[in-house]
């Protein structure tokens, strides 16, 4: 187990997980309404849940750092936020593809799509501010604010075209099982990406020392 958790295996594990995601998407049952377009819905729905969870974890670790002032906690908060940012833009790509496939165009007025655009602007700003100010307390506070803003925006976003839970509401146990498997792959991707961000930060610190 320790061998599998070594940083040098993060890259290969992500490659394997990517293959498993593709296989699951093509092996999963199709929806009667969406047909083969549901393949991107599997990916899109799973990755956003993982990204949101990572950002919440980063926020929680940010709060923990502000309370404890333990540098190790901040290091993992920073790694989680960076990993969440990287995965957010992968999610953004899947969101664009899924939207075009399902609706035929990007509905700029759609509230959930507006939240995606707002968060796509906020996350890089928080990341850049952290690079500029180089202040752990400020960065940790920003990490803590991000999930709050995200939840507020989502709570205010009305459902117009975007369904709340198309997989859960499908009533098809095979589709739901395939989605759970897809979600597991993305959870593992999230874990490895965050670990990769932490390993990269450690490597940079070692180079500077």
Measure the CA–CA gap between 16 and 47, rounded to whole angstroms.
16
Q: Any residues with CB less than 8 A from the CB of 195 and at least 6 apart, and which?
A: 5, 7, 10, 79
pLDDT at res. 152? 94
Measure the CA–CA gap between 129 and 178, rounded to whole angstroms.
39
Q: What is the mean pLDDT of each run of 10 residues along the chain (209 residues)?
A: 60 94 88 67 89 98 97 95 96 85 71 89 96 95 97 80 59 82 96 93 72
Measure the CA–CA gap between 26 and 142, rounded to whole angstroms.
39
Q: Which H or E element spans position 53?
A: helix 38-68
pLDDT at res. 38? 72
Q: Any residues with CB less than 8 A from the CB of 109 and at least 6 apart, and which?
A: 160
Judge contact between 17 and 189, C-beta under 8 A: yes
pLDDT at res. 106? 72
Q: Any residues with CB less than 8 A from the CB of 132 and at least 6 apart, and which?
A: none
Q: What are the structure tokens assigned to 197, written together?
A: 């961000």
pLDDT at res. 163? 57
Judge contact between 63 and 142, C-beta under 8 A: no
Q: What are the structure tokens assigned to 6, written together?
A: 């070594």
Measure the CA–CA gap between 171 and 188, rounded to whole angstroms.
26
b (16+ CB within 10 A) / e for 147-178? beebeebeeebeeeebeeebbeebeeeebeeb
Q: What are the structure tokens assigned to 65, written together?
A: 């750092």
pLDDT at res. 84? 97
């Amino acid at each position: 187990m320790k061998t599998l958790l070594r940083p040098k295996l993060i890259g290969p594990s992500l490659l394997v997980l990517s293959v498993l995601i593709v296989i699951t998407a093509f092996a999963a049952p199709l929806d009667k309404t969406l047909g083969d377009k549901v393949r991107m819905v599997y990916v899109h729905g799973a990755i956003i849940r993982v990204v949101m969870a990572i950002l919440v974890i980063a926020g929680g670790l940010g709060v923990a750092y502000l309370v404890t002032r333990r540098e190790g906690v901040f290091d993992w908060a920073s790694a989680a936020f960076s990993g969440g940012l990287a995965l957010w833009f992968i999610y953004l790509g899947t969101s664009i593809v899924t939207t075009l496939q399902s609706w035929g165009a990007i509905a700029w007025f759609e509230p959930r799509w507006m939240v995606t655009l707002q968060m796509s602007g906020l996350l890089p700003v928080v990341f850049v501010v952290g690079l500029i100010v180089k202040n752990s307390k400020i960065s940790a506070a920003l990490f803590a604010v991000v999930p709050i803003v995200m939840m507020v925006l989502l709570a205010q976003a009305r459902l117009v075209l975007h369904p709340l839970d198309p997989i859960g509401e499908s009533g098809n146990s095979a589709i739901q099982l395939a989605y759970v498997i897809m979600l597991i792959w993305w959870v593992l991707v999230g874990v490895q990406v965050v670990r990769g961000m932490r390993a990269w930060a450690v490597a940079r610190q070692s180079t500077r020392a």
